[in-house]
Amino acid sequence: MMNGQGGGVFGDKSPAQIINSDKKFSDVAGNKEPIEEISEIVDYLKNPKRYEEAGARMPRGILLGGPPGTGKTLLAKATAGEANVPFYFVSASNFVELFVGMGAKRVRQVISEARKNAPAIVFIDELDAIGRTRGSGIGGGHDEREQTLNQLLVEMDGIKENSGLLFIAATNRTDVLDPALTRPGRFDRVITVGLPDIKEREEILKLHAKGKRFAQDVVFSNIAKRTPGFSGAQLENVINEAVLLSVRERKQVITLDIIDEAIDRVMSGPAKKSRTITRDELTSVAYHEAGHAVVGIKVPGGNKVQKITIIPRGQAGGYNLMMPEKEKYNYSKSELLATIASFMGGRAAEEIIYGAENISTGASDDINKATTIARRMVTEFGMSDLGPIKYQDESGSPFLGKTLATSSSISNQISHEIDLEVRKIIMEAKNLAYNIIQENRELFELIKTLLLEKETIISEEIDYIAKNLALPPKQEEVKEDAKEIDLDSLITMTESKEEIKE
């Protein structure tokens, strides 16, 4: 429901939407800590007088920070729904217009309207659109965005304590916000809404799976293991893609294969099955992916290989899904080196099979990821011969903002030494990958052969090859054996029944 205050040539209309939220905390899976922090705010909105009599000052603003898709907006709506108060939703970009002064005027309109209906929540989405550090525009000019921010700060200061008016803002970039926004009396409670862990992913999947039909062998805890780093929005998308695929394939229930395809679609896009690929190119991709897999299996501290495919998706000719056995938040130097070696396994495989002069462009993404990790090892983690020193200066120019220009206190000599250390890490990892593949050529060739045969192989098949150094038995043969046994049993049962009748 849109709420406006008339038109006019200058768009004299409140940019806020009044939403009577029907969301509750029960609609939010995971995010237990943020919900606990917000629960007392709900009680405050229901009974502001109680806190006033106790002499407590409740926060005027809550800032929800974190990656995209983690449920920041949903949390704000659930807060309004639990407290049963009006919810004013506004995107920060709607405040800023071409005409000077319109942003400040719209801030006054929204807050004036919310005051009349207090207790109420004013939710500002993408706060960084107006809340960036002042003086960060090109040339440091006092632009319309700064006027809008100044007006918001003034309005928040002008709100009486325990008035029943609460500001909630969401942003993906808390690092670029003006410090005046987060001082006490404004957005003085900052809550980080992070990516869900494995248990929270399972809860989110189950929440979105309600009312949908799944096969009996679908175990959501296993799906949660397959989706590390997924946000709540991505997990919802996995379930939705699975439902759409089941309808497309006219299946009555959602099977594991469908969910597997849905995860791949969310990660890398739909498969490009119609793309014409020569046998030689497909073989090259199979060798490349087999190289990743062999290094991942054999390198100490490596991640478990979950799935390999040579079916093109997005920009990739194939991909290799490797994940740790258990969810981790801290990584040792040996684990990071093992990860880099796994990334370099594809390039090493190409050199072994085709020679250094015939390597392909397929390793570009691997090189990018490996270089990023290696550089962070040197400049952030202190895992090189340069010692435990941080070599990245994140202080931004006062006129160009934190991301437009950064001042560096690193000398040219140190910068050169950093590059040498990064190169050393990458080359050592590539040589390690090369040696591992050479020492395990039989495993390497078997994985390549099965990839060319099936195009996609999963962890159970990979484990079988690694343990037995043989291709796993074909499913068709197993099924036919089962059919023969069933037929013999059926004949025996039939004959015995006929004897009884006689």
How would you write the pLDDT of the chain (502 residues) with one tens digit per residue? 444 444 443 455 666 677 777 889 989 998 888 998 888 888 888 887 888 788 887 788 999 999 999 999 999 999 988 988 888 999 888 887 656 667 888 888 888 888 888 888 899 999 998 888 876 555 444 577 888 888 888 888 877 766 778 899 999 998 889 999 988 888 988 999 999 999 999 999 999 999 999 999 899 998 998 898 899 999 999 999 999 999 999 999 999 999 999 998 998 888 777 677 788 999 999 999 999 999 999 998 888 888 899 988 877 778 888 887 777 788 999 999 999 999 999 999 999 999 999 999 989 999 999 999 999 999 999 999 999 998 875 544 444 444 444 455 688 899 999 999 999 999 999 999 999 999 999 999 999 999 999 999 988 899 999 999 999 987 654 444 444 444 444 444 434 444 433 3
Residue owning tokens 């056995």: 325
Strands (E), 297-409: 304-309, 319-323, 396-397, 405-406
Q: Is 73 annotated as a binding residue?
A: yes
How much is the pLDDT for 96? 75
**Which distant-in-sequence residues (6+ apart) come within 8 Å of 64 by Cβ?**
34, 72, 75, 76, 168, 169, 170, 171, 191, 193
Q: Is 66 annotated as a binding residue?
A: yes
**Which distant-in-sequence residues (6+ apart) come within 8 Å of 75 by Cβ?**
28, 31, 34, 35, 38, 64, 193
- Residue 229's CB: how many other CB atoms inside 10 A? 12
Q: Is 71 annotated as a binding residue?
A: yes
How much is the pLDDT for 135? 67
Is 289 catalytic? The answer is yes
DSSP character for 92? G
Residue 305's beta-bridge partner residues? 322
By CB atoms closer than 10 A (0-12, 13-18, 19+), residue 63 is: buried
Q: How far is CA 221 from CA 69, 198, 201, 203, 449, in A?
A: 21, 8, 8, 9, 31
Q: Is 292 annotated as a binding residue?
A: yes
Would you say 305 and 320 are in contact if contact means Cβ atoms under 8 Å apart?
yes
By 3-state DSSP, what share of the chain in percent is helix, strand and coil, each rounded to 5?
55, 10, 35
Opening angle at CA 476, ends 471 and 477, nearest 5: 70
**Which distant-in-sequence residues (6+ apart) come within 8 Å of 325 by Cβ?**
303, 304
Q: Is 324 annotated as a binding residue?
A: no
Q: Is 34 annotated as a binding residue?
A: no
How much is the pLDDT for 419? 96
Opening angle at CA 122, ends 90 and 17, nearest 5: 40
Q: Is 171 helix (H, G, I), strand (E, B) or coil?
A: strand
How much is the pLDDT for 8? 41
How much is the pLDDT for 476? 55
How much is the pLDDT for 99? 61
| CATH class assigned to 17-192 | alpha beta
Q: Which fold has domain 294-391+405-468?
A: Methane Monooxygenase Hydroxylase; Chain G, domain 1 (1.20.58)
Secondary structure tally for the chain: helices H, strands E? 18, 11
Would you say 178 and 396 are in contact if contact means Cβ atoms under 8 Å apart?
no
- d(Cα 157, Cα 186) in Å, to the nearest integer? 7
Task: Of 68, 92, 64, give the one whose Cα is nearest residue 77.
Answer: 64
Would you say 367 and 347 are in contact if contact means Cβ atoms under 8 Å apart?
yes
Q: Is 67 annotated as a binding residue?
A: yes
**Which distant-in-sequence residues (6+ apart) come within 8 Å of 320 by Cβ?**
289, 292, 293, 296, 305, 307, 308
Residue owning tokens 């929270």: 200
- d(Cα 448, Cα 196) in Å, to the nearest integer? 35
Would you say 85 and 119 are in contact if contact means Cβ atoms under 8 Å apart?
yes
Q: Is 69 annotated as a binding residue?
A: yes
DSSP 231-254: -HHHHHHHHHHHHHHHHHTT-SSB
Select the CATH number that applies to the domain covering 198-268 from these four: 3.40.50.970, 1.10.8.60, 3.30.420.40, 1.10.1370.40: 1.10.8.60
- d(Cα 24, Cα 5) in Å, to the nearest integer? 30
* Catalytic residue chosen out of the listed positions 155, 289, 350, 421: 289
Q: Is 68 annotated as a binding residue?
A: yes
